[in-house]
Structure 1
Amino acid sequence: MNKTERLLAIVMELQRSRVRTADELSEVLGVSARTIYRDMQALSEAGVPIIGETGTGYSLMEGYFLPPVSFTVEEAVSLLLGAEFIEKRFDPAFRLSARSSRRKIEAILSGPIREETNRIQGGIRLLQKDEMDLMIREKVNLGIIREAMLDGKKLRFAYHKRIAEADGSRVTERTVAPYGLAHDEQNGWLLLASCDLREDIRHFRVSRISGPAVTDEPFQLPDNFNLQSYRPKDTRSIRVCAIFNPEMADKVDEANNYYMETAEAREDGYHVTFRVRQPEELLSWILGWGADVAVTEPESFKNRIKEEIKKMKERY
């Protein structure tokens, strides 16, 4: 941070907080208190109305406001929540940038807008699932993935699948060309990459990646690939039908299962159809509804559920 940037940062810090000591500013900006004293002198000479009180700290004269940017309450809340989301869900480099952005936004808000924004923000919380293991692993992986993307190098990692392969294994070694990252409400961060093993573009849930490492092998992003317009191939060809307890209809809808295609309330229950690549993708989810659901087709999946229930009974 050069001197000009530091002087602007000081003014923004003083706008964000009514009073700041030299020690507090030096800690935030990563410089010595002596440097802060010199900066305060430079700001005063430049016409910035800074008030210094011994034993209290520095503040700006009432009414001084910089820069000429204004936000509505809704705009400010949107920006601050967005910054908070990045802080919680991305890697350390972006987390620091988001935190810095948030402080700058807070600094340029006028007093009444800041108070109203704080009040609204206090009633909104971004929930995190498995706040320790899952989130930490996801953040670490994101940093390494971004490094590979920026360097144009392939990535190697172990991928933990929810559904076992034909040989019973759930972990496969992958080498991929990382094309981009997307965030899905149900699955969290997803890596879109060209997989050497599958010889096609695949999606990998970042939280299921372990031991990611950037290789020395370069890759080129195809000219015809655009992350914003990319749509994955739909390879779901198997239809699964189930009837839910009608009292569960609202909860089934709220669950917003990715594979659900249609839902219809009938006299005998809430009829739902799913389309999957393999029925096992629904196994755990269906079992989670207990006696409130009955699968009607395909017959092979009904038998698979019976087998799983039998195994569960043997455990008890």
Structure 2
Amino acid sequence: MNKTERLLAIVMELQRSRLRTADELAEVLGVSARTIYRDMQALSEAGVPVVGETGSGYSLMEGYFLPPVSFTVEEAVSLLLGAEFIEKRFDPAFRNSARSSRRKIEAILSGPVREETNRIQGSIRLLQKDEMDIMIREKVNLGIIRKAMQEGKKIRFTYHKRVAEADGSRVTERTASPFGLAHDEQNGWLLLASCDLREDIRHFRVTRINDLTVTDDSFQLPDNFNLQSYRPKDTRGIRVCAIFNLEVADKVDEANNYYMETAEAKEDGYHVTFRVRQPEELLGWVLGWGADVVVTEPESFKSRIKEEIKKMKERY
């Protein structure tokens, strides 16, 4: 790395972090702290507003921004695909911002890089479900949730669970403090929120939220909560075992069921174990495999499946 590349790298590092010490920059760039001191002097002489704080480190003056000089083809494709994903899967405000960002990225690409980027993008397609009511509701809900998080306000909504509670109810009224949003390949957007009803953090599929409103009640994010490092409590305490026909083993793997724990091919079939909160969570999925699967335990779940099959036979 020559001096020019190193000066640019320093500015980019300072843009990424509010404050960096000379030792931190030296470690990242593989040079000595003395070299960093000289580079800082060179940047100041070149007009870059570097601010040095004694005992703290270096930072850039508020408002200063150096746009990237260039992107590689791979970097450009990554950013443009990311922007396309946001356009398709988030609410209108972020969709418009993503579209604007995409135009700005495309505008600074050199001619050859732009041509190669367009060629690669043309060979990659992000599939999107039709704009059904459920997808529209998800995007509307995302916008309301984001607004509540920004304002630090609780939300109130009706939640439709896929599996009924012990009392048989599937629909509940909830008031919750929205802590964050996470995207899951199987479930789409998930809301992580502190639920007043359960007095604990719960996950809510955004597509199952109805009648969503922002309340006047404020909340504060706990000091010890970090969305990036947060891991939910594992409350799946019931073990379910099943044997699939070997012919469908690859399809079982491809299904990538969230509750699946282990799978092993044996002479008599493909042995799979699941761990669930309630066996009902697997009922529809297991029945979907028809005669290609047999549940071996627990006995209560086997009985439940027999009951469901009996009801199906009566309908036919």
Q: Which residue of 1 aligns with 2:255?
A: 255
Paired with 2:74 and 2:250, the residues of 1 have a C-alpha distance of 31
- CA distances 1:26-54 after superposition (whole Å, capped 9, x unpaired): xxxxxxxxxxxxxxxxxxxxxxxxxxxxx
Paired with 1:211 and 1:142, the residues of 2 have a C-alpha distance of 13
Q: Which residue of 1 aligns with 2:224?
A: 224
Amino acid at match of 1:201: I
> What are structure 2's unaligned runs of at least 5 residues?
1-66
Q: Which residue of 1 aligns with 2:10?
A: none
Distance 1:289 1:68, change over 3 A: closer
Give the SS at the match of 2:234: coil
Paired with 1:134 and 1:72, the residues of 2 have a C-alpha distance of 38
Matched, 1:267 2:267: yes
Q: Which residue of 1 aligns with 2:169?
A: 169
Q: Which residue of 1 aligns with 2:214?
A: 214
Q: CA deviation at 1:130?
A: 4.7
Paired with 1:283 and 1:70, the residues of 2 have a C-alpha distance of 53
Q: Which residue of 2 aligns with 1:35?
A: none
Paired with 1:92 and 1:167, the residues of 2 have a C-alpha distance of 38
Q: Which residue of 1 aligns with 2:135?
A: 135
Normalised to the residue count of structure 2, the TM-score between the two structures is 0.77
Paired with 2:291 and 2:106, the residues of 1 have a C-alpha distance of 51
Paired with 2:202 and 2:301, the residues of 1 have a C-alpha distance of 26
Q: CA deviation at 1:137?
A: 0.9
Give the SS at the match of 2:181: strand
Paired with 1:314 and 1:236, the residues of 2 have a C-alpha distance of 33
Q: Which residue of 2 aligns with 1:187?
A: 187
Amino acid at match of 2:248: M
Matched, 1:305 2:305: yes
Paired with 1:196 and 1:213, the residues of 2 have a C-alpha distance of 15
Paired with 1:304 and 1:70, the residues of 2 have a C-alpha distance of 61
Paired with 2:138 and 2:127, the residues of 1 have a C-alpha distance of 15
Q: Which residue of 1 aligns with 2:288?
A: 288
- CA distances 1:110-164 after superposition (whole Å, capped 9, x unpaired): 2222122112111211122353222211110000001111111110000011011
Matched, 1:94 2:94: yes
Paired with 1:132 and 1:122, the residues of 2 have a C-alpha distance of 26
Q: CA deviation at 1:259?
A: 0.5
- CA distances 1:261-311 after superposition (whole Å, capped 9, x unpaired): 000000000000000000000011111111111100001001111111111
Paired with 1:310 and 1:68, the residues of 2 have a C-alpha distance of 65
> What are structure 1's unaligned runs of at least 5 residues?
1-66
Q: Which residue of 2 aligns with 1:113?
A: 113
Amino acid at match of 2:98: A
Paired with 1:85 and 1:209, the residues of 2 have a C-alpha distance of 22
Matched, 1:203 2:228: no
Equivalent runs, 1:36-55 vs 2, <5 Å: none
Give the SS at the match of 1:175: strand
Q: Which residue of 2 aligns with 1:124?
A: 124
Q: How many residues are aligned here? A: 251
Overall identity of the aligned pairs, in %: 89
Amino acid at match of 1:306: K
Q: CA deviation at 1:68?
A: 6.1
Paired with 1:91 and 1:312, the residues of 2 have a C-alpha distance of 40
Q: Which residue of 1 aligns with 2:240?
A: 240
Greater CA deviation, 128-137 or 302-311? 128-137
Q: CA deviation at 1:89?
A: 0.8
Paired with 2:208 and 2:218, the residues of 1 have a C-alpha distance of 24
Greater CA deviation, 237-246 or 125-134? 125-134
Give the SS at the match of 1:216: strand
Greater CA deviation, 128-137 or 185-194? 128-137
